[in-house]
Amino acid sequence: MDEVKKSFYDRIAEKENLRYIDAHAHLARKLNMKKLEQELEAPGLKQVWLLGMDKSEDGYLADNEKILQISKEFPIFVPFAYLDFNQGPDQIDRFRDQGFLGIKAIRPPKPYDALEYMDLYQRAADLDMPILFHVGSVATVNRTRMLRNKSYYGHSTMLPRMLMAIQACVPKAKLIQGHMTWGYNEELLMALCCNSATKVASSGIEDIPWWYENFSRCDSKGTPIYKKVMLATDVTYGEDCPEEYRNAGEHIYEKALFVYFLMRFQAYYYPWQGKHDDVLYGNAAEYFPDRLLK
């Protein structure tokens, strides 16, 4: 953003008292602390959910240990533990004892709604830990890596419709669908409408026509869909990359402004006109009210 634009947007954000939460983000393994601190200065950013990733992966995203450590250092971060589907529900107790507040689910060897996984979700519900499920596409890898991690790398075990069976088996579970994803938004709508305890962290591909079509609908308890969608980026905080690379703080700030303009000025005669604070902040703020920056 150049200086002129920046001051214009900053003025808007200030005037409207914009506040927002990033409900799906990652941390870099190789951290640039200076950059991380700058990213967290995004005006109005009140909380960031940091999701742990698999330690045995070759990738660049931080694992549980690092997520936990940095969340203790920076209270703006809410730590979500990477769930190992090959282990039992005891791990959830350990996560809670260590200080994790949520669970991140991705790449189960069997479908998310396999009966054997219900004990994991039940334990998370008992300990009041929300579970954020990655759904839809992920980068596919070769067979060797699939076997090594004993996990699945296609779409087929991670579909929004699976949240229906989970919610039916574990009604108290706080389920969050991570991402909107092409090809699955009808299933997402079904999960949101039928499951009163399910929300979506809207990172990835935002399907704005879907917002217009469905934000005014209600779930089975009468809660409108716009009250179940949360701002999110799925970007990596603290990434050690070239200066000119767009940083995570700018990313979430720009996205918050976009949603503000959309809901404030492009939604006349829709019941969700002017309700941007719900999507930007309120819908996610309910989960961890003690961890919100002032």
Q: Closest separation between CB of residue 61 and Zn ion, Å?
A: 8
Helix (H) or strand (E) holding 132, with range, is strand 131-134
| R_g of the chain computed on alpha carbons | 19
Tracing tokens 């719900």 back to the chain, one arrives at 278
The alpha helices in 127-161, defined as continuous H runs, are 143-149
- List, in sequence order, every residue forming a beta bridge with 200; answer none if it has no partner: 177, 229
Residue nearest to Zn ion (CB): 234
Q: Closest separation between CB of residue 178 and Zn ion, Å?
A: 6
Q: Is 234 in the site for Zn ion (CB under 5 A)?
A: yes
Q: Which is nearer to Zn ion, 80 or 121 (CB)?
A: 80
Q: Closest separation between CB of residue 180 and Zn ion, Å?
A: 13
Where does this chain touch Zn ion (CB under 5 A) — which range of 88-96, 163-171, 208-216, 230-238? 230-238
Candidates 293, 294, 255; CA nearest to 276 is: 255
Q: Closest separation between CB of residue 132 and Zn ion, Å?
A: 9
Q: Which is nearer to Zn ion, 13 or 180 (CB)?
A: 180
Q: Closest separation between CB of residue 63 and Zn ion, Å?
A: 14
- How many residues sit close enough to Zn ion to count as binding (CB under 5 A)? 1
Where does this chain touch Zn ion (CB under 5 A) — which range of 2-10, 35-43, 150-158, 227-235? 227-235
User: Which 258-287 residues touch Zn ion, going by CB under 5 A?
Assistant: none
Q: Which is nearer to Zn ion, 219 or 234 (CB)?
A: 234
Asked whether the beta carbons of 70 and 77 are under 8 A apart, the reply is yes
Burial of 73 from C-beta contacts in 10 A (0-12 / 13-18 / 19+): exposed
Asked whether the beta carbons of 179 and 24 are under 8 A apart, the reply is yes
Asked whether the beta carbons of 107 and 135 are under 8 A apart, the reply is no
DSSP code at position 31: B
Q: Which is nearer to Zn ion, 234 or 239 (CB)?
A: 234
Asked whether the beta carbons of 133 and 176 are under 8 A apart, the reply is yes
Q: Closest separation between CB of residue 271 and Zn ion, Å?
A: 31
Distance CA 260, CA 20 (A): 10
Q: Is 22 in the site for Zn ion (CB under 5 A)?
A: no
Where does this chain touch Zn ion (CB under 5 A) — which range of 180-188, 193-201, 233-241, 284-292? 233-241
Q: Which is nearer to Zn ion, 107 or 227 (CB)?
A: 107
Binding site for Zn ion (CB under 5 A): 234
